[in-house]
Amino acid sequence: MDPFHLDIPQQDLDELHHRLANTRWPGELPGVGWDYGVSQTSLAELVDYWQHGFDWRAQEARLNAHPQFTTTVDGQRLHFLHVRSPEPDATPLIMTHGWPSTVADFLDVLGPLTDPRAHGGDPKDAFHVVAPSVPGFAFSGPTGDRGWNTRRTARAWAELMRRLGYERYGAQGGDFGSIVSPELGRVAPEAVLGVHVNAVANAGVPTAPGDLERLSEEDRKRAKENETWWYAHSGYATQMATRPQTLAYALNDSPAGQLAWNLEWFVDWDPATTNQTPVSRDAILTNVTIFWLTGTAGSAARLYLEAARDGWGVRLAPSGVPTAVANFRGDHALRGLAELSNTVTRWSEYDTGGHFASLQAPDVLVDDIRAFFRAR
């Protein structure tokens, strides 16, 4: 385990600003807004803020305020935050981010999770938090060989927790983390005491014969609506799940292009009409800056292809590990589909937040995690 401290050379930041200043804008049709994709007007405003207002050094300091380490597992360098609670009996918890996120998404929840006493909570709800960067993402990237899918990532997490001396622990994750965390329960069921997920990525649409028949009439209607919604918004996933290398050249060469690619998901495709709580521009730019500075946008995209080749969407048998689902505003998970692959013991619906709950509703997410693991 090697200590890790983030200190980006100033020349790298200068080069980023130079590229932003020389962005080649493609133009857009008048009055179309976000109908054809990311609005150039909105993107140009954010690029200008990225160049002239965004304080990378402040975000760097926020990350460096927490203990970080690297280690090599299965031939791949892994970066992780390891924030131990002052409470000696705290529950170990490994948290997994999704795409296009990094561990920076967890900065607002680390304090309340690890030190509830200092944040108006019960010290009995304390956690020792381990938050790794997913292989291929940010400081755990790029990946050096094929096959870094969600299953292999879960095996790496189990080994990481073993090395840290945690024999029993919880798992939490959103987006791709909502796939990795239950998989960790299958890889190491004797070690995982519970799985908590939000932004569930594989329980919104039917993927196998008979899925719809297992649902109530209301949920069948919602599943069909989800299929229509996903068809209209899944272009990014199809590209990354089939030809990520082709995309990587553009993402790695244009910071404005990389920001546009990530921005669609963060703003739910139309900031004027979204029903989700907006993600702050500093949070969006922290993630995209990390991807840019580490040159891992293409490597991160490969996760989609690796997951697809590993049978992404195939219904796996439940591990038997108790599982909690927190469904925030705009999430599409259906309990009837989630229960096909998970032992769901808690299901919560929230009319707040959104897909990035740790950024959009951190207090609600923390409370739900506490409530679930309190009973474990």
As a whole number of angstroms, the distance between CA 235 and CA 231 comes to 8
Catalytic positions, written as ranges = 175, 304, 355
Provide the token pair at 367: 């409370």
The residue behind tokens 């692959």 is 341
As a whole number of angstroms, the distance between CA 53 and CA 69 comes to 30
Q: What is the pLDDT of residue 211?
A: 86
Segment 195-210 shows an average pLDDT of 90
As a whole number of angstroms, the distance between CA 285 and CA 57 comes to 12
As a whole number of angstroms, the distance between CA 126 and CA 122 comes to 8
Q: For 226-235, 297-306, 324-333, which range has the lowest pLDDT when averaged over its residues?
A: 226-235
Does residue 268 register a pLDDT over 70? Answer: no
Coil/strand/helix, residue 132? strand
Provide the token pair at 142: 């790029």
Q: Does domain 1-372 have CATH number 3.90.320.10?
A: no
> Confidence class of residue 274 from pLDDT cuts 50, 70 and 90?
low
Segment 47-59 shows an average pLDDT of 98
As a whole number of angstroms, the distance between CA 145 and CA 39 comes to 36
Select, from the ranges 24-38, 66-80, 211-225, 272-286, the one with the highest average predicted confidence (pLDDT).
Answer: 66-80
Q: What is the largest CA-CA distance in the chain?
A: 60
Three-state SS across 178-245?
HHHHHHHHHHCCCCEEEEEEEEECCCCCCCCCCCHHHCCHHHHHHHHHHHHHHHHHCHHHHHHHHCHH
Q: What is the pLDDT of residue 313?
A: 64
As a whole number of angstroms, the distance between CA 68 and CA 133 comes to 11
Range 72-76 contact pairs with CB under 8 angstroms and sequence separation of 24 or more: 73/156, 73/159, 73/160, 74/152, 74/155, 74/156, 74/159, 75/144, 75/145, 76/135, 76/140, 76/143, 76/144, 76/145, 76/148, 76/156
Specify the pTM.
Answer: 0.97
Q: For 103-112, 158-167, 271-280, which range has the lowest pLDDT when averaged over its residues?
A: 271-280
Provide the token pair at 341: 């692959």
Coil/strand/helix, residue 50? helix
As a whole number of angstroms, the distance between CA 1 and CA 307 comes to 28
Q: Which pLDDT tens digit goes with each residue over 69-83?
A: 999 999 999 999 999
Backbone angles phi, psi at 177, to 5 degrees: -65, -25
Q: Are 37 and 263 in contact (CB under 8 A)?
A: no
For 282, how many CA atoms within 13 A lie in the half-sphere containing its CB? 12
Rg of the chain on CA atoms, in Å: 20
Segment 95-115 shows an average pLDDT of 98
